Amino acid sequence: MNAPHLQKEICPLAPVRGTTALIQHPPRAWKNLSEASKLQIASVVADMAKRMAAKAAEDRTNANDHDL
Q: Dihedrals φ, ψ of 66, to 5°?
A: -80, -15
Contact residues for 30 (Cβ-Cβ < 8 A; gap 6+): 38
Residue 53 domain-assigned?
Answer: yes
CA–CA separation, 61 and 68 (whole Å): 12
What range does the domain containing 58 cover? 33-62
Decide: pTM greater than 0.75.
Answer: no
Asked if the structure places residue 58 within a domain, the reply is yes
Q: What is the mean pLDDT of the chain?
A: 77
pLDDT at 61 over 70: yes
How many domains does the chain contain in total? 1
Whether residue 27 lies inside any domain: the answer is: no
* One-letter identity of residue 16: V
* Residue 8: predicted pLDDT: 65
Q: Is the pLDDT of residue 2 over 70?
A: no
The more confidently predicted of residues 2 and 68 is 2
- Does the residue 55 lie in any domain? yes
Residue 9 placed within a domain: no
Per-residue pLDDT of 37-55, as tens digits, reads 999 999 999 999 999 999 9
